[in-house]
A and B are shown apart, each in its own frame.
Chain A
Amino acid sequence: MYDLVASLASGVLVGAIYGLAAIGLSLIFGVMKVINLTHGAMIALGMFALYFFVSVLGFNPYVSLLPIVAGGFVVGVMVYWIAVNRVIGSSDLMSLLATFAMNMIIIGVGTALWTTSPYNVDFSLPGISWHGYTIPGTQIVAAALAIVIAGLLYVFLYHTRTGKAVRAVASNRQAAELMGIPTRRILAIAFGLGIAVAGAAGALIATLFPFTILSGGSYELKSFVVTVLGGLGNPAGALAGGILLGLIEGGVAPFVDVSWTPVIEFSLFVLILIAFPAGLFRIGKNH
């Protein structure tokens, strides 16, 4: 019994970070109907950025989130202008391939720089112990920060002028253009935000687990599962979807071998996609 509760608690905490990662993917899809296949590479870059700030420069990991988010935004805007801008509005295949090409380039450079061997950020906080189970402090702080970042994004999207413009472009790009919104610039900002959030999620994951340049790939796949649970293009649902995925992982962990988790996850993913293409949660979906 205790092991199930501990496993579920740990699942919820990790799930909040899955949710944050998925928000980045979901925001970009919601605004420009592009499935961003650089997502995994950006999560991995976030991990290595954290390694750089903490292990090389000696920063506090949570302080380093600030430059990582800012840097992620800049990288995202650059990727938008290089690879995405020209394929907006053409077929799905083109945007999938353009972002995948960027992914190959980033992973290729990353592999040449850091090889594919694992890296680790040495950092720990006192945890909470309960009936012989310990939840590390880093997990609790990471989950809390994930929710804070998601909240900040929400405030930005609903209570600032630029954020409202992002939502306007998402709901009807032509009408937004007619209202005088510079839609290209807004798309670039939305892409930058999506990447910044993905990078932050990567950095938070790096405080918990060891990572390689290829680690982003499995979180990218999890983000797909989460966005489908939460509804493609629905950032608020993504957080709920992430926590649900964490609960599923935590809930099955005591009963089946860990290698079966992906089977359950991806089967569920395909079934939900077929049965509910709009996602299970429709929270905050007003377009």
Chain B
Amino acid sequence: MYKRPFFWIVLAVIAAFVLVPGISGDVGLRESLLLGAVYIVLASNLNLMIGYTGYVNFGNIAFFGLGGYIGMYLVTALHWSVWLASAVAGASVSLFALLLGLGILRLRGAYFALATIGINEAVKAAVSNFSPFGGASGMYLSFSSFAPLGGPRHALWIIYFAIVVLMGASLLLSLAIKNSKFGLGLFAIREDEDAAIVLGVRAPWYKSAIFALSAFLPAMVGTLYFFKNGVILPEQAFDLTLSIEAIVMLMLGGQGTIFGAAFGAFVYEQFRGFLLVSPLFSQFQLVVAGILLLAIVLFLPGGFMGWVYRKLPRLRKVLE
């Protein structure tokens, strides 16, 4: 894998995410990049389902939210360290996705998309009623939870670096899958599932595996993100809008491409930040984002990378 130019590009991006705010010490920049890194994790793991396998997971945010909840519970109620909590949250949400996938991945196309919306809502409603998770009023961290990381100021930097590492892991995971036999099987399922099965791709197993895999890193990031915020509420954790925004990011950059997913997520985050503070557009942030999405869907369904590949076919080997 390290022979591929894209591997080194990923490393350079991680280095930039670490060094630029690290050296300048700019907290505002760090917060903006942190949100960008979270979006990149969401978009590139969603890409494994939509771009690689052709299954539209509308409820992808359920993994992030559930991971956040499990992690926060382990940290606040059981006083685990945030790292262990994050890993356990990732593993348990993955297991949940694996079991869930065995059921709902039998559905195809629009039926699958609808089922994922239903699951996100069901999980959100269940968590809102689950008293160990604080029900509708959520869970709050006490100030002392940051102590093991050297106090709040220090902790925020450490969490940021950890999220950047997970972002790098997401990109490398996408790259590794793309260049594996497993990845080829997924692409075959995307193109024609029945034909793939006839040719010996064990589609049910492949689909469940990628569904579980695509849940792991978002759940880990969920724990870190809500730990950093110090509070988790059902409405934020299972926000269907963010779920769909993740799809917008993917479409913006170009579904199926790793660079596209990351680039789309980063640009969308910057664009959203710009709209929110701009006096002219702050009222119309949703409208502008909607028009942008509609324009991409209608006129540029391959997204940014689709356009780049058409203009410069050679870049296909470099920006995967």
Binding site for B on A (CB under 8 A): 29, 33, 35, 82-83, 86-87, 90-94, 96-98, 100-105, 107-109, 111-112, 221, 224-225, 228, 232, 257, 259-260, 262-263, 266-267, 269-270, 273-274, 277
Could you write out 15 A-B pairs with CB less than 8 Å apart? A35-B110, A96-B113, A97-B293, A103-B290, A104-B287, A105-B290, A108-B290, A111-B286, A112-B284, A266-B118, A266-B119, A269-B122, A270-B104, A274-B107, A277-B111
Contact residue among A87, A103, A107 (Cβ-Cβ distance under 8 Å from B298): A87
Contact yes or no, B115 A105, CB < 8 A? no
Contact residue among B125, B128, B287, B301 (Cβ-Cβ distance under 8 Å from A109): B287
Distance, CA A277 to CA B115, complexed state (A): 10
Contact yes or no, A108 B286, CB < 8 A? yes
Contact yes or no, B110 A101, CB < 8 A? no
B72 adjacent to chain A (CB < 8 Å): no
Contact yes or no, A35 B122, CB < 8 A? no
Closest to B251 in A: A97
Distance, CA A103 to CA B294, complexed state (A): 10
B117 adjacent to chain A (CB < 8 Å): yes
B150 adjacent to chain A (CB < 8 Å): no
In the complex with contacts A86-B298, A97-B297, A259-B129, A273-B118 CB distance below 8 A: yes
Please, how many residues of chain B have a CB less than 8 angstroms from a CB on the other chain?
Answer: 44
Contact yes or no, A98 B298, CB < 8 A? yes
Distance, CA A192 to CA B90, complexed state (A): 45
Residue of B117, B288, B290 with highest tally of chain A CB at under 10 A: B290
- Name the B residues within 8 Å of A263 (CB-CB): 122, 125-126, 129
- Name the A residues within 8 Å of B146 (CB-CB): none
In the complex with contacts A86-B298, A87-B297, A92-B110, A224-B117 CB distance below 8 A: yes
B residues 43-76 near A (Cβ < 8 Å) are 50, 54, 56, 58
Contact yes or no, A105 B291, CB < 8 A? yes
Contact residue among B50, B117, B244 (Cβ-Cβ distance under 8 Å from A221): B117
Contact residue among B126, B128, B244 (Cβ-Cβ distance under 8 Å from A100): B244
Give 1 or 0 for each of B120-145: 1 = CB within 8 Å of chain A CB: 01101110110000001000000000
Residue of A33, A90, A104, A107 with highest tally of chain B CB at under 10 A: A104
B289 adjacent to chain A (CB < 8 Å): yes
Residue of A111, A257, A269, A270 with highest tally of chain B CB at under 10 A: A270
Contact yes or no, B129 A101, CB < 8 A? no
Query: How distant is B210 from chain A, measured CB to nearest CB, in Å?
Result: 17
In the complex with contacts A92-B109, A259-B136, A266-B122, A273-B114 CB distance below 8 A: yes
Contact yes or no, B117 A83, CB < 8 A? no
- Name the A residues within 8 Å of B248 (CB-CB): 97
Beyond A98-B297, A112-B283, 10 extra complex contacts between A and B, CB < 8 Å? A29-B110, A83-B294, A83-B298, A102-B290, A107-B286, A108-B290, A263-B122, A266-B121, A270-B122, A274-B106
Of all A-B residue pairs in the complex, the 8 with the closest CB atoms, nearest first, are: A104-B290, A108-B286, A266-B122, A108-B287, A262-B125, A101-B294, A105-B290, A101-B293
- Name the B residues within 8 Å of A267 (CB-CB): 122
- Name the B residues within 8 Å of A101 (CB-CB): 290-291, 293-294, 297
Query: How distant is B183 from chain A, measured CB to nearest CB, in Å?
Result: 20
Contact residue among B56, B124, B128, B129 (Cβ-Cβ distance under 8 Å from A93): B56
Query: How distant is A118 from chain B, measured CB to nearest CB, in Å?
Result: 17
Distance, CA A102 to CA B128, complexed state (A): 30
- Name the A residues within 8 Å of B288 (CB-CB): 108
Query: How distant is B65 from chain A, measured CB to nearest CB, in Å?
Result: 15
Contact residue among A29, A86, A274 (Cβ-Cβ distance under 8 Å from B104): A274
Contact yes or no, B107 A262, CB < 8 A? no
Distance, CA A260 to CA B54, complexed state (A): 33
